[in-house]
Structure 1
Amino acid sequence: MAHVLVAEDDVLVRVALAEGLRAVGFAVIEASCADDALAYIRAGGKVELVFSDIQMPGMLDGRQLAELIARDHPGIPVILTSGDIQLGACVSTCLFVAKPYSTAHAAKLFRSVLGLPPDGSS
């Protein structure tokens, strides 16, 4: 079971995505901001992929989170998302997914990035 950390300040978006990902076999850790996501990773929490909104409250935004993870935890891939396509155009260090996206699309992308079978089988 792959552990995915979802950092999203919109609670409805975060909960819907987390529930959908759990339903197809992912273990999901939820964070309401990039600061909490980074704290979880730095505390040694199990994470194989981070999916983060770019614009969030707190000290860090999603791009800064991605940069810190790339620097300090290079084995953890990061995928960023935003409803603002202009922000996505500025992302060069990791993958970007525009909002709105479907849970099925996110799960397929996560499996691909993690090298897992596309159907979720082990």
Structure 2
Amino acid sequence: MRRSKILVVDDIGAVRQLVVITLAGLDHAEDPEIVECADAFDAIDRIESGERFDLVVTDFRIPRGREGKLVAETAKRRDPGIPVICMSGDMTDQDQAETPADVFLVKPFKLKDLLGAAERLLGKVRHE
């Protein structure tokens, strides 16, 4: 079984590191490969270049607005089956309705909720 490859996007380094450390504890045969991006445009460039990810975890509010939505849209356009987790402290219902994410986590969230969502979504990808 190949390692899962996860893209983590958050402009706040401490949050990004916490997400990375949490996801490194995923309950799979091998530790996942985790790619970090501090801004949406770096993440979008990686996705559009054809880099393959099994899961995208992105903040919604990245400086300049709702760039997390653009990350989710780009990932889903490239691979409609890719699971996306979107994190935010201030998403509206309309933001959620307009963002193609599979799971929304409201900050502050419990790390076990992030881990559980990631394991569930990666499990779906592996069984499809």
Equivalent-residue separation in structure 1 for 2:89 and 2:51 (angstroms): 28
Q: CA offsets, 1:20-57, max 9 Å, x none?
A: 22244332110111111111122232310101001112
- Identity fraction in percent: 30
Gaps of 5+ in 2: none
Gaps of 5+ in 1: 117-122
2:4/2:54 contact within 8 Å kept: yes
Give matches, 1:29-108, under 5 Å.
29-57=35-63, 61-86=67-92, 90-92=95-97, 93-94=100-101, 95-108=103-116
State the TM-score, normalized to the length of structure 1.
Answer: 0.80
Aligned length: 115
State the TM-score, normalized to the length of structure 2.
Answer: 0.77
Equivalent-residue separation in structure 1 for 2:91 and 2:51 (angstroms): 31
Which protein, 1 or 2, shows the higher relative CO under an 8 Å CA cutoff with sep ≥ 6? 2
Equivalent-residue separation in structure 2 for 1:7 and 1:108 (angstroms): 18
How far 1:14 moved relative to its partner?
Answer: 0.3
CA RMSD of aligned residues (A): 2.1
Match for 2:10: what amino acid? E
**Structure 1: which 4+ aligned runs deviate by more than 6 Å?**
none
Secondary structure in 2 aligned to 1:113? helix
Secondary structure in 2 aligned to 1:91? helix
Equivalent-residue separation in structure 1 for 2:57 and 2:40 (angstroms): 10
How far 1:9 moved relative to its partner?
Answer: 0.4
Change (3 A) 1:44 1:60: farther
What residue number does 2:23 align with? 21
